[in-house]
Amino acid sequence: MVHVSATPVLALRGVSKRFGAVQALTDVELEVHAGEVVALVGDNGAGKSTLVKTIAGVHPIDDGVIEWEGKAVQIGKPHDAQSLGIATVYQDLALCDNIDVVGNLYLGRELKKRGVLDEVEMERRSRELLTTLSIRIPSVRIPIASLSGGQRQTVAIARSMLGEPKLVILDEPTAALGVEQTAQVLDLVERLRERGHAVVLISHNMADVKAVADKVAVLRLGRNNGVFDVKTTSQEEIISAITGATDNAVTRRAARNAEAQK
C-alpha cells in the first residue's frame, strides 16, 4: 500500500456554490491525500463537474474554505490553481481546434527562449511525454481538429501532466474511450499514484472506480453523501449512496433479475 500522508494535499470545508437559482453545491467536504486516488461519484447533475471547476478556479466558490497542504487558500482564477500545482482535465475538453498538439499541450505556459517561442524544445518534450505515456497520435504538428475523440482525451490528459502537478483532477476521462485506451488511462492513473501525486477521478463506471480508486466520495444533489473505502465497501452500498436510497431503480432491477433467475 502506498504511504498516505497525514495532512491532506487538498481539503474542502463546507464549500457552497450557486448558479442563479440553482444551488449546485451545499456544504461539501472533501479530503485528498498525496499518493491517493479519490473517486468522486454521483448521478448526472449531482455537481461533480461544478466541484471540479471550483477547485480549478473556473468558478470561484461562494462559501466555505479550500485548504491546500493544510493552509487556507483563495482560488479565484485558473492560474491560482495551476500555480498551486492543480492540473485539471475537464469533461468538456477545452482544447483549441485550430492549434496543433504541441501548441495545445503548452497553451498558457509556452517555453520561450529570449522572448521567442521555443518550438523545437516544446516539440521534443511533447514527443517525449507522449511516448512515456504511450500515447499514439498521427503527428504532434497537426491541429487538434484532426484527432479522434479518444486521441483528444489523451492529449488533454497529457497536457495536465506537463507541469508535474501535485493534484490531478480527471473529469470522466474514460467516457469517450475505447477498451484499450480506457485501460491506458487507468494505468496512467495508477502511475500517477505511484509517483506520489494525489488524484481525483470522476467516473460513472463502477468497474473503473473499483479498479483504481482508494476512496469513493459520493455527491448527491450537491451535498456529500458519504465517503467509502473501496476495499471494504460493496458496489451496492456505493450505488445506494449515489441514488440516495436502498430502494431505488438499481436495487429493484437487481431484485427483479434475481427473482427471474429462480
Ligand X SMILES: Nc1ncnc2c1ncn2[C@@H]1O[C@H](COP(=O)(O)OP(=O)(O)OP(=O)(O)O)[C@@H](O)[C@H]1O
Burial 72-83 (b: 16+ CB within 10 A, else e): eeebeeeebbbe
Residue 126 CB, nearest distance to ligand X (Å)? 29
- Residue 103's SS3 state is helix
> Nearer Cβ to ligand X, position 19 or 76?
19
Distance CA 16, CA 196 (A): 29
Q: Is 192 in the site for ligand X (CB under 6 A)?
A: no
> Nearer Cβ to another protein, position 29 or 118?
118
Segment near ligand X (CB under 6 A); pick from 41-49, 81-89, 101-109, 113-121: 41-49
Binding at 78: pick from ligand X, Mg ion, another protein, none (beta carbon under 5-8 Å per type): another protein
Residue 184 CB, nearest distance to another protein (Å)? 11
Distance CA 48, CA 41 (A): 7
Which of 124, 204, 210, 220 binds another protein (CB under 8 A)? It is 124
Residue 68 CB, nearest distance to another protein (Å)? 17
Distance CA 55, CA 151 (A): 26
Residues 26-85 touching another protein, rule: CB under 8 A, are: 56, 58, 77-79, 82
Distance CA 111, CA 117 (A): 6
Q: Phi first, then psi: what are they for 42, rounded to 5°?
A: 160, 160
Residues 88-107 touching ligand X, rule: CB under 6 A, are: 91
Instruction: Find residue 188's DSSP bridge partners.
Output: none
Residue 241 CB, nearest distance to another protein (Å)? 30
- Residue 169's SS3 state is strand
- Residues binding ligand X (CB under 6 A): 19, 22, 24, 42, 44-50, 91
